[in-house]
């Protein structure tokens, strides 16, 4: 970051030897993170519906998404990378070799190859013993890394670290001046720059300086990179003692550091489009969606929303959201699920962590209209059991209520918690503590919603929370299905594996049913009475 409050750096170092395993969070944010007051619909996202994805992380920094929608998150001081899925326990997928953390340095930004489906490559910006460098590795063999760019000056502060693939397929990196202000104006060093390179680290066509990966210069500490729909690049940058910045980046642009901090009257330098005081911001990660630039603020403990005007400037003053709600926010990103994701940085020695820190949280998108139908199963809205008359399960039928937990071999197959309130739609509500007690036995159980009249002329989205859990005596003849009228819109099959219950989120476009009267049918099946199968549904919404 920068020299502000750097005396607390030593506290970070004590975390390296105490790297606890992060955990999944299956419910909405608890009281230490919950928002209150009126609904916040900001920048196209509903900030009153936070979903905790992971807790107990150690200074999460990089955040990138795989083609299947899961997220990779790096931990700065531990060199670990976790794979995150909502409602599923974080999975450790890599410990990157050669990382030497100190102060603000360590394992920083991540980027996923645009051709990951064929090459399985992940890129990381890290601090080694002698420099900062960019490496890549196959996710299935993370212990073998290839250095694609080395020699980036390092320090205990001002290391930059953000990585991102641009719409041109090139890899971009934000660096810091490594606590040497002269680096920023020196085109012979990659420090204090934004770099543009090929996926193998080479100099691509179109770079502004011959035989150089330098794309722009005069930067103090760049930790955020994002592109708007027109392909324009924006970056967040830490100032020193007075002014933080958001800049629109152009090839070959000089952004003024150390001569200028913020806006200045020198035509040789490009001015920022937005500035804040350092106490208000200290901006790290950034993302763009819905004509809005989101900037994660560390010292400012908030999320800044900057309205963009489509020509590289702003269409109004920035606004503040989540102020003080999550503490120091390090990273913000837009996931392939359409959600806004953030990661906190409260255990970096400068924050005041709560018990669940550090956290990864996501917020759902607004669907552009009001809610058409919603059922949290706290009251009886008129769902009908066995509506088609074909149910034949001997036990474990779907019912609305407060579930009891079922465990076996240390794993929970029916959760005793819901995603909101105390009730859900569940197959073995009175399961007790015995595995297999009142689970689905040898047949199908179903529940059908009341009729729902869908409007026309808008996008319609069905969202719900669910799980399907089973022992290793299950098979793909066991299932959880959701139908709209007679069309299957969600199907999850069993398998011969011990699969614990974990709430997951499904978001389904149902616009093809616009103008119709529909019902939602939930079905669960156990093909063999000898197997254990449990299923649950909660928070069904069409909006």
The pLDDT tens digits of the residues spanning 486-502 come to: 999 999 998 888 888 88
Look at strands 121-127 and 132-138 and give their pairing.
antiparallel
- Which of the pair, 468 or 528, is modelled with greater confidence? 468
DSSP, res 209 = S
**Model pLDDT, residue 458:** 76
Under 8 Å between Cβ of 442 and 528: yes
Better-predicted residue by pLDDT, 429 or 189:
189
Q: Give, in order, the Cα–Cα distances in Å from 135 to each of 92, 148, 285, 361, 441.
A: 19, 5, 20, 27, 51
DSSP state of 117: H
Lowest mean pLDDT among 191-195, 339-343, 349-353, 438-442: 438-442
Those residues with Cβ within 8 angstroms of residue 37's Cβ, 6 or more apart along the chain or in another chain = none
Q: How far, CA to CA in Å, does 429 sit from each of 119, 439, 464?
A: 45, 9, 19
Model confidence at 431: pLDDT above 70: no
Most confident of 15-19, 226-230, 326-330, 457-461: 326-330
Cis peptide before 67 (omega within 30 of 0): no
Distance of CA 324 to the CA centre of its chain: 19
What pLDDT was estimated at residue 367?
Answer: 60
Terminal Cα distance for the chain, rounded:
41
pLDDT average, residue stretch 399-426: 83
Q: What pLDDT does residue 534 have?
A: 82
One-character DSSP codes across 289-352: ETTEEEEEETTTTEEEEEEB-SSSSBSS--EEESTTTSSSEEEEEE-TTS-EEEEE-TTSSSS-
- Report CA 332 to chain centroid distance, whole Å: 7
Residue in 373, 415, 396 with CA at minimum distance from that of residue 501 = 415
- Which residue has 């595995």 as its token pair? 435
Q: Which of 175, 185, 176, 122 is nearest to 148 (CA)?
A: 122
CA 440, CA 64: separation in Å to the nearest integer?
38
Whether residue 369 is predicted with pLDDT greater than 70 in this model: the reply is no
The predicted structure's pLDDT at residue 149: 98
Residue 526 binned pLDDT confidence (cut-offs 50, 70, 90): confident
pLDDT band at 169 (very low <50, low <70, confident <90, very high): very high
Tokens of 187: 């085109």
Burial of 370 (0-12, 13-18, 19+ CB in 10 A): exposed
Distances in Å between the Cα of 198 and the Cα atoms of 114, 117, 225 are: 12, 18, 17
Kindly tell me if the per-residue pLDDT of 192 is higher than 50.
yes
**Is 11 a residue whose pLDDT tops 70?**
no
> What's 13's DSSP letter?
H
Place of tokens 């104006």: 185
- Residue matched to tokens 């934000």: 174
* 3 state DSSP class of 11: helix
pLDDT band at 540 (very low <50, low <70, confident <90, very high): very high
Give the model's pLDDT for residue 368: 53
Q: Which residues contact residue 487 at a Cβ distance below 8 angstroms, ignoring those fewer than 6 apart?
A: none
pTM value is 0.68
Q: CB atoms < 10 A from the CB of 87, how many?
A: 20
Is it the case that residue 385 has pLDDT exceeding 60? Answer: yes
- At 60 the three-state DSSP class reads strand
- Three-class SS state of 183: helix
The dihedral built from the CA positions of residue 499, 68, 173 and 315, taken in this order, carries a sign that is: negative
The whole-number pLDDT of residue 104 equals 97
Adjacent-strand bridge partners of 136: 123, 146
Q: ∠ CA(295), CA(299), CA(305), 5° rounding?
A: 20
Q: What mean pLDDT do residues 449-468 have?
A: 87
Length of the chain, please? Answer: 543
Contacts of residue 252, defined as CB under 8 A and 6 or more positions apart, other chains included, come to 208, 209, 215, 216
pLDDT at residue 297 tops 80: yes
Q: Distances from the Cα of 336 to the Cαs of 94, 180, 340, in angstroms?
A: 22, 38, 10
The yes-or-no verdict on residue 372 having pLDDT over 90 is no
Name the CA dihedral angle for 330, 335, 340, 343, rounded to a multiple of 10 degrees.
-20
Order across the sheet with 121-127: list the strands.
Answer: 107-112, 121-127, 132-138, 146-152
pLDDT at 261 > cutoff 50: yes
- Asked if 318 contacts 312 with a C-beta cutoff of 8 angstroms, the reply is no
Q: What is the share, in percent, of the chain residues with pLDDT greater than 70?
A: 90
Q: What six digits make up the tokens of 437?
A: 């007690």
Q: What is the pLDDT of residue 498?
A: 86
């Amino acid at each position: 970051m920068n020299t502000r409050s750097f005396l607390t750096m030593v506290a970070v170092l004590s975390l390296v030897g105490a790297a606890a395993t992060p955990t999944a969070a299956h419910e909405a944010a608890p009281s230490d993170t919950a928002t209150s007051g009126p609904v916040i619909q900001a920048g196209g996202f509903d900030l009153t519906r936070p979903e905790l994805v992971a807790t107990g992380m150690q200074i999460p920094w990089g955040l990138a998404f795989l083609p299947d929608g899961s997220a990779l998150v790096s931990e700065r001081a531990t060199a670990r990378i976790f794979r995150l899925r909502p409602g599923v326990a974080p999975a450790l997928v890599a410990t990157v070799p050669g990382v030497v953390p100190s102060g603000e340095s360590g394992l920083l930004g991540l980027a996923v190859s645009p051709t990951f489906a064929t090459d399985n490559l992940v890129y990381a910006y890290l601090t080694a013993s002698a420099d900062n460098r960019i490496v890549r590795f196959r996710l299935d063999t993370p212990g073998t890394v290839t250095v694609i760019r080395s020699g980036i000056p390092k320090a205990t502060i001002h290391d930059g670290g953000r990585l991102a693939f641009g719409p041109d397929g090139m890899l971009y990196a934000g660096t810091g001046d490594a606590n040497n202000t002269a680096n920023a104006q020196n085109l012979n060093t990659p420090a204090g720059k934004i770099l543009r390179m090929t996926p193998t680290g080479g100099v691509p066509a179109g770079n502004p300086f011959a035989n150089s990966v330098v794309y722009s210069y005069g930067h103090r500490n760049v930790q955020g990179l994002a592109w708007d729909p027109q392909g324009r690049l924006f970056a967040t940058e830490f100032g020193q003692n007075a002014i933080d910045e958001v800049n629109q980046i152009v090839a070959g642009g000089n952004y003024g550091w150390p001569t200028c901090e913020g806006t200045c009257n020198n035509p040789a330098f490009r001015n920022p489009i937005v500035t804040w005081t350092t106490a208000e911001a200290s901006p790290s990660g950034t993302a763009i969606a819905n004509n809005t630039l989101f900037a994660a603020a560390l010292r400012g403990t908030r999320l800044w929303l900057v309205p963009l005007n489509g020509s590289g400037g702003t269409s109004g003053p920035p606004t503040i959201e989540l102020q003080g709600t999550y503490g120091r926010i390090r990273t913000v990103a837009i996931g392939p699920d359409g959600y806004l994701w953030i990661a906190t940085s409260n255990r970096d020695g400068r924050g005041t962590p709560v018990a669940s820190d550090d956290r990864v949280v996501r917020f759902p998108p607004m669907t552009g209209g009001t809610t058409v139908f919603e059922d949290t199963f706290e009251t009886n809205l008129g769902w009908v059991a066995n509506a088609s008359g074909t149910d034949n399960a001997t036990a474990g039928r779907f019912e609305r209520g407060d579930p009891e937990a079922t465990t076996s071999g240390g794993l929970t197959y029916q959760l005793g918690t819901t995603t909101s309130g105390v009730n859900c739609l569940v197959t073995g509500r009175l399961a007790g503590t015995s595995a297999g007690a009142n689970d689905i036995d040898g047949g199908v159980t179903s529940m059908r919603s009341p009729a729902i009249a869908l409007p026309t002329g808008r996008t319609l989205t069905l969202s719900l929370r669910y799980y399907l859990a089973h022992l290793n005596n299950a098979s793909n003849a066991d299932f959880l299905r959701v139908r709209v009228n007679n069309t299957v819109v969600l199907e999850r099959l069993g398998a011969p594996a011990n699969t614990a219950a974990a709430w997951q989120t499904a978001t389904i476009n149902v616009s093809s049913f616009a103008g119709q009267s529909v019902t939602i049918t939930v079905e669960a099946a156990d093909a063999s009475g000898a197997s254990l199968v449990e299923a649950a549904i909660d928070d069904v919404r069409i909006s």
